[in-house]
C-alpha cells in the first residue's frame, strides 16, 4: 500500500470517528475539549463568592447544589424566599457549606431600582463578588399575532433589561478589582430561532448581543470574563412558568420532560465553561447542536432545516397547544 493511500485512509478514519463523536456530543466541541483537557471547577472555583439569580428552581437550583459541594460562598436570589430557603437547607444538608456561607437575597430582576442596593448587600455580606451568574428568566409559547404586547414587554424587561441592569451594577466592583466573571445563561434560541418563541428569541438574542458587545469594551481588563452560556432543552420548571398569549396566562405544567437534557449534566457543563473562561458555550444534544452550528456558520442551510421543523412545531402546537414542544424531534431518554 502506498503512503498516499495510507494517509487518505487514516484521514477518512479520523473523519468518521469525529462524526461518530459529534453525533453523541452534548456540547460544542470547545466546551467538550475543556471538559476533557481543561481546568477543573473543583480547583478554579474554590474560595469564590458566587451570586446565582433564579436560584429557586431548575438550572439555578441545581447550580446551588453543585456549587455547595465546593468551597465557595453562595448568594441565592429569586423572588420566592421560601423556595430559596428550601434550596439553602438542601445545600446545607448535602453540601460542604455552613450556614454563614449561604446568603439568601430576595431579588426581582424586573425591579431594576433595587439592584444597586442588592449589590451593596452582597458586598456587605461577603466583601467581594467573584462570579455573577445571570440565570433568572422566563419563556413563552404562542404565535406572534396571537400574543399580547404585555408578553413582549415582560420578557424584554426580565430576560434582557433585568439581566443587563444587574450586570451594570456588579461590573464597577469587578473593574475596581480588575477581575471577575459574569456568566449569563442565555439559550440556543439566542443563537438560532424557532416559531412560537418570538418574544423569548428576541430577548435572548438581545442579551447575547449585549454581553458580546460589552466584552469588546473590556479588552483592557483581561481578568474580567463575560460568558454567554446557551443551553438547549433542559429539565426544569421553565414550561410550567412559560407565558402564552397574555401575561396572565401560563402553560402551568411541565409535561413530559424525558426528551430534555438532565439538569445535573447541563449544570456540570456550565461549571466547566465557568472554570475555563469560555466566552460562549452551547450545551445541547443532537439535533439541536447541529442546528446551532449550521445557524452560526451556514445560516441559509439552517433556514432550510428550521423551515421544515417550524411547520411541524406549529401544526403540533395547534393540535395540542399545552404540551407540545420540540418533542417530536427528539427520542425519549432511556
Ligand atoms: N430549561 C430550559 O430548557 C432552558 C433552555 C435554555 C435556557 N434556559 C434559561 O435558563 C434560565 C433558568 O431557567 P430554568 O429552565 O431553570 O427555569 P425555571 O425552573 O422556571 O427557573 C427560573 C428561575 O428564574 C427566576 N425568576 C423568574 N422571574 C424572575 C424575576 N422577575 N426576578 C428574579 N428571578 C426570577 C425564578 O424564581 P422566582 O419565580 O422565585 O422569582 C426561577 O428561580 C433562564 O434564563 C432560561 O431562559 C432554560
What confidence score (pLDDT) does residue 329 get?
A: 60
Residue nearest to ligand 1 atom 35, measured at CA: 136
Residue 313 lies in a domain: no
Domain count within the chain: 1
Q: Which residues pair with 226 in a beta bridge?
A: 182
Is the per-residue pLDDT at 327 higher than 90?
Answer: no
Tell me the pairing of strands 131-134 and 280-283. unpaired
Condensed to tens digits (0 to 9), the pLDDT of residues 125-139 reads 999 999 999 999 999
**Residue 265 counted as domain residue:** yes
Q: Which of 152, 193, 200, 293 is catalytic?
A: 200
Q: Is there a domain that residue 318 lies in?
A: no
Q: What stretches of 57-197 show up as alpha helix (H) in DSSP? A: 58-68, 81-94, 115-126, 149-155, 163-177
Q: For 50-91, what is each residue's pLDDT tens digit?
A: 999 999 999 999 999 999 999 999 999 999 999 999 999 999
Quick one: pLDDT at residue 177? 98
Candidate from 51, 52, 58, 237 with most ligand 1 atoms within 8 A of CB, to mutate = 58
Instruction: Specify the residue with its C-alpha closest to ligand 1, atom 7.
Output: 187
- Cα separations (Å) of 275 from 39, 94, 133, 210? 6, 22, 13, 22
Does residue 186 have a cis bond before it (omega within 30 degrees)? Answer: no
When pLDDT is cut at 50, 70 and 90, the band that residue 107 belongs to is very high
CA angle 76, 82, 83 (to 5 degrees): 60
Give percent above pLDDT 70 in the chain.
Answer: 96
pLDDT tens-place string over residues 202-253: 999 999 999 999 999 999 999 999 999 999 999 999 999 999 999 999 999 9
CA 101, CA 119: separation in Å to the nearest integer? 17
Write out residues with Cβ below 6 Å of ligand 1.
Answer: 53-60, 78-80, 83, 107-110, 135-139, 158, 185, 187, 231, 233-234, 236-238, 241
In terms of residue numbers, what domain contains 224? 32-286
Identify the CATH number of the domain in which residue 193 sits: 3.40.50.720
| pLDDT above 80 (res 270) | yes
Using DSSP, state whether 6 is helix, strand or coil: helix
Q: How far is CA 102 from CA 14, 64, 310, in A?
A: 48, 10, 43
Query: Does the pLDDT value for residue 328 go beyond 60?
Result: no
- In order, the DSSP letters of 27-74 are S-HHHHHHHHHS--HHHHTTT-EEEEESTTSHHHHHHHHHHHTSS-EE
Rounded Cα–Cα distance for residues 156 and 270 (Å)? 24
Cα-to-centroid distance, 58 and ligand 1 (Å): 7
65 belongs to a structural domain = yes
Cα 98 to Cα 41, 64, 91, 107, 169, distances in angstroms:
20, 13, 9, 22, 28
Ligand 1 atom closest to Cα of residue 108? 32
In a domain, 124, yes or no: yes
From the CA of 270, how far away is ligand 1's center (Å)? 15
Q: Residue 200 catalytic?
A: yes
pTM: 0.95
Q: Which of 89-103 are b and which e, b meaning 16 or more Cβ less than 10 Å from the residue's Cβ?
A: eebeeebebeeebbb
First to last CA, the chain: 45
Q: Which of 77, 108, 238, 259 most suits a substitution to test ligand 1, by most atoms within 8 Å of the C-beta?
A: 238
Name residue, grid cell 442588592. 118
Pocket test for ligand 1, best of 109, 136, 265, 266 (most atoms within 8 A of CB): 136
Residue 43, Cβ neighbours under 10 Å: how many? 9
Task: Express as a percent the part of the chain with pLDDT over 90.
Answer: 88
Residue 49 belongs to some domain of the structure: yes
80 Cα nearest atom in ligand 1: 40
- Asked if 77 and 84 touch (Cβ cutoff 8 Å), the reply is yes
The residue whose CA is least distant from atom 1 of ligand 1 is: 234
Residue 332 pLDDT > 70: no
Amino acid at each position: 500500500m502506498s503512503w498516499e493511500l495510507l494517509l487518505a485512509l487514516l484521514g477518512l478514519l479520523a473523519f468518521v470517528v469525529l462524526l461518530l463523536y459529534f453525533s453523541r456530543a452534548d456540547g460544542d466541541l470547545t466546551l467538550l475539549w475543556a471538559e476533557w483537557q481543561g481546568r477543573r471547577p473543583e480547583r478554579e472555583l474554590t474560595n469564590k463568592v458566587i451570586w446565582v439569580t433564579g436560584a429557586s428552581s431548575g438550572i439555578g437550583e441545581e447550580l446551588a447544589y453543585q456549587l455547595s459541594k465546593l468551597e465557595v460562598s453562595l448568594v441565592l436570589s429569586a423572588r420566592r424566599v421560601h423556595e430559596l430557603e428550601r434550596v439553602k437547607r438542601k445545600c446545607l444538608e448535602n453540601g460542604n457549606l455552613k450556614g454563614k456561607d449561604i446568603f439568601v437575597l430576595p431579588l426581582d430582576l424586573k425591579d431594576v431600582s433595587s439592584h444597586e442596593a442588592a449589590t451593596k448587600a452582597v458586598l456587605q455580606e461577603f466583601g467581594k463578588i467573584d462570579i455573577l451568574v445571570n440565570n433568572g428568566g422566563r419563556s413563552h409559547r404562542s404565535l406572534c399575532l396571537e400574543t399580547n404586547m404585555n408578553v413582549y414587554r415582560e420578557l424584554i424587561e426580565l430576560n434582557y433589561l433585568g439581566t443587563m441592569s444587574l450586570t451594570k451594577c456588579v461590573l464597577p466592583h469587578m473593574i475596581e478589582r480588575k477581575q471577575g466573571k459574569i456568566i449569563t445563561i442565555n439559550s440556543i434560541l439566542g443563537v438560532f430561532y424557532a416559531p412560537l418563541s418570538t418574544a423569548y428569541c428576541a430577548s435572548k438574542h438581545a442579551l447575547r448581543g449585549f454581553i458580546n458587545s460589552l466584552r469588546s469594551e473590556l479588552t483592557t481588563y483581561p481578568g474580567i470574563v463575560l460568558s454567554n452560556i446557551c443551553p438547549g432543552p433542559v429539565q426544569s420548571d421553565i414550561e410550567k412558568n412559560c407565558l402564552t398569549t397574555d401575561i396572565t396566562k401560563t402553560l402551568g405544567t411541565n409535561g413530559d420532560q424525558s426528551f430534555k437534557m438532565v439538569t445535573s449534566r447541563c449544570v456540570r457543563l456550565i461549571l466547566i465553561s465557568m472554570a475555563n473562561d469560555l466566552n460562549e458555550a452551547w450545551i445541547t444534544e443532537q439535533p439541536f447542536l447541529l442546528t446551532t452550528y449550521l445557524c452560526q456558520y451556514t445560516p441559509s442551510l439552517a433556514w432550510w432545516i428550521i423551515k421544515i421543523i417550524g411547520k411541524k412545531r406549529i401544526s403540533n402546537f395547534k393540535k395540542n397547544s399545552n404540551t407540545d414542544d420540540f418533542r417530536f424531534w427528539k427520542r425519549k431518554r432511556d
